[in-house]
């Protein structure tokens, strides 16, 4: 009699909750400027400020902390229009997330900056690269963005990188030991994005195979990648 065939377990893309509270923000030299900016509010050097850093560096987390303090609304940069700017500034504080070159309405952003100045509102803009490097057609907008004070977030140092991997595992309720953390730290690119991707892939593969998260599984996964 033939043996019973056991189907492979499917990895389900279940949502996981990532806290954006201040207590859950991992601090280090790489993001010290961002934390200092949030803590300095409302005594900012300018009512509109920039937070610039690579993918996954904590820009949205910092923006969420500030939004809680300032009672700010939040909008994606590409959703700004000249029509919705007044409503976006209704509380006197606004987060503009993920400003990218050629992916926003220049007149709308210029209108926002002008209205914020007129109404003495505060605006926090996040971006992966400095807007000064953007190819902007509106000369006045280009000048205004280049003049904005900026807090820059860098890639994580060794200590922060290790802490990030542990945090990402915790966010997904993954039980990992020191061997797994050390292996990932020594084998993957030291960046926020790489740490997040590695943990997500490891979680999905462990679920698919129905195996615990071990160093051996991590090694198999990285060999495949």
Which residue ranges does the chain devote to CATH 3.40.50.300?
A: 28-152
213: tokens are 């998260």
141: tokens are 């907008």
Which residue ranges does the chain devote to CATH 1.10.8.60?
A: 158-224
Residues 6+ apart with CB under 8 A from 186: none
Task: Write down the architecture of domain 158-224 according to CATH.
Answer: Orthogonal Bundle (1.10)
64-97 confidence digits (pLDDT tens)? 999 999 999 999 999 999 999 999 999 999 999 9
198-218 confidence digits (pLDDT tens)? 999 999 999 999 999 999 999
- Is the pLDDT at 9 greater than 70? The verdict is no
Q: Supply the pTM of this predicted model.
A: 0.86
| Burial bucket for residue 57 (CB in 10 Å: 0-12, 13-18, 19+) | buried
- Is the pLDDT at 13 greater than 50? The verdict is no
3-state per-residue secondary structure call for the chain: CCCCCCCCCCCCCCCCCCCCCHHHCCCCHHHHHHHHHHHHCCCCCCCEEEEECCCCCCHHHHHHHHHHHHCCEEEEHHHCCCCCHHHHCCCCEEEEEEECCCCCCHHHHHHHHHHHHHCCCEEEEEECCCHHHCCCCCHHHHHHHHHCCEEECCCCCHHHHHHHHHHHHHHCCCCCCHHHHHHHHHHCCCCHHHHHHHHHHHHHHHHHHCCCCCHHHHHHHHHHC
Query: How many other C-beta atoms lie within 10 A of the C-beta of residue 21?
Result: 10
CATH of domain 28-152: 3.40.50.300
Task: Round to whole Å and give the CA distance between 7 and 109.
Answer: 53
pLDDT at 225: 65
């Amino acid at each position: 009699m033939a043996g019973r065939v056991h189907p492979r377990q499917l990895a389900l893309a279940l949502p996981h909750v990532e806290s954006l509270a201040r207590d859950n923000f991992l601090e280090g030299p790489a993001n010290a400027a961002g934390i200092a900016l949030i803590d300095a509010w409302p005594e900012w050097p300018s009512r509109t400020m920039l937070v610039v850093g690579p993918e996954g560096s904590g820009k949205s987390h910092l923006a969420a902390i500030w939004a809680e303090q300032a009672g700010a609304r939040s909008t994606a940069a590409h959703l700004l229009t000249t029509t919705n700017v007044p409503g976006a500034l209704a509380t006197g504080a606004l987060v503009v997330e993920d400003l990218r070159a050629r992916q926003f309405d220049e007149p709308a952003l210029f209108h926002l900056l002008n209205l914020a100045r007129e109404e003495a509102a505060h605006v926090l803009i996040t971006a992966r690269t400095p807007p000064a490097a953007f190819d902007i057609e509106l000369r006045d907008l280009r000048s205004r963005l280049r003049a904005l004070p900026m807090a820059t977030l860098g890639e994580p140092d060794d200590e922060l990188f290790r802490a990030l991997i542990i945090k990402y595992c915790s966010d997904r309720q993954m039980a990992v030991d020191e061997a797994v953390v050390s292996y990932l730290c020594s084998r993957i690119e030291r960046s926020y994005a790489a740490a997040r991707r590695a943990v997500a892939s490891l979680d999905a593969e462990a679920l698919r195979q129905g195996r615990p998260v071990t160093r051996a599984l991590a090694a198999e996964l990285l060999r495949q990648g």
